[in-house]
Amino acid sequence: MARSNKKVVPESKHALDAMKYEIAAELGLPVGKSIAGANVEFATELGSIPSGSMKEDYWGHIATRDTGAVGGAITARLIKKAEETLFNL
């Protein structure tokens, strides 16, 4: 069976990206893209990665365990939000 990364709601891309970078910032991960309102440039502030070498939306230097933690946190938040919505019906 072929897997597809097709989004069910394509308009959700920006909101999911914002959540991804917000969670990465909360976890202290040095990612190279910022979404309005989120401060995620920890790597350049700490000097662990020179600011000139940062690529936009680059996650190659992040450990798999850490990227999995971001994905897990996104899933947990989405489930919590869905449960709250169902509870308030």
pLDDT tens digit sequence for 30-67:
886 544 444 445 544 555 445 554 456 778 888 999 99
Domain boundaries, the chain: 12-87
pLDDT mean over 70-74: 95
In the chain, DSSP finds a helix count (H) and a strand count (E) of 3, 0
pLDDT at position 23 is: 92
